[in-house]
Amino acid sequence: MKALRRVPAVFGFEWRRALTIPRLSWMLALAAFAPVLLMLVRSAAGSPPPPMVAAVFVYVLAPGVVCMMSVFLLATPAISAELEGRSWVYLAVRPYGLLAVLLGKYLVAVTWALPVGLTSAILSSVVMADTELPRMVAVQSGLAALSCIAYAAVFLLIGVLAPKRAMVFGVVYAVGVEVGAAFIPAAVNLLTIQHRLRCLLVRGMRMDEGVAERNPVFLSYFGDETATWHIFILLAMTASYLIAAALILHFREFTAAAETDT
């Protein structure tokens, strides 16, 4: 509880520190990326896509790429920034200082990425949807929120595990696990965030689940569980990543000089 009392102070300080013109420019560019690209795609096609195709396009670009990139830029270097700034030793000697910093930086990453993801999802849905617009906006916005919450935790954990190479390992994880492993029709894709979000997209948009029944291989991609189950698993994964990061911070000794001078 004492650590949680310090989180608002860390959150406020880190949020104000992140409020810079370059970062605002990056976030605005990310928010505009998906709707502008989809507008160009729709203009080139000359006709509106089917609702299912439109939903997949919006999902891939907004809750997928934009949300992942937003939290990647904020959460992954969270620990390395303190090590390089040589403020780590002061945080480490304060009671519950490391846990407060971890949770504060996590909340900063989520609250910065969430408006970007929601804006991208809503505008992309407006661009692509001719029918069922309210449903698409609601589903894509929910997926964007879950994406920000889950990806912020996993990228923060990567930053704790390998602070010197956090950005590199973050890219490897995004490409190798969330893009590669998520599309392997085997049990390994159950460990990915993309699998859960993809299943929620299918259930939220009420896509034709009979395809999976007629082709059992599709069950590996869409599953047969309820939307509530997938949301629960996503939140449980998020909590487990944060707990793992907190435990590593508590038991691992980080040396600021080693991280910056070697």
* Per-residue model confidence (pLDDT) at position 40: 92
The count of domains in the chain is: 1
- Is residue 58 over pLDDT 70? yes
Q: Does residue 153 have a pLDDT over 90?
A: yes
Amino acid at 117: G
Q: Could you tell me the CA-to-CA distances from 205 to 153, 200, 224 in Å, in that order?
A: 26, 8, 15
Q: What is the mean pLDDT of residues 107-115?
A: 93
Quote the Cα angle for 39-113-19, to 5°.
Answer: 110
Contact predicate 133/219, CB 8 Å: no
- Higher pLDDT: 7 or 139? It is 139
Q: What's residue 233's pLDDT?
A: 94
What domain range includes position 214? 2-261
Task: Give the residue with greater pLDDT, 225 vs 246.
Answer: 246
Radius of gyration over alpha carbons of the chain, in Å?
Answer: 20
Does residue 228 have a pLDDT over 50?
yes
Q: How much is the pLDDT for 47? A: 78
Helical H runs in 48-94?
Answer: 51-59, 67-75, 78-84, 88-93
Measure the CA–CA gap between 160 and 183, rounded to whole angstroms. Answer: 27
Reported as a pLDDT band with limits 50, 70 and 90, residue 260 is very low
User: Mean pLDDT in the chain?
Assistant: 83
Average confidence (pLDDT) over 207-223 = 59
Q: Report whether 18 contacts 74 (CB < 8 A).
A: yes
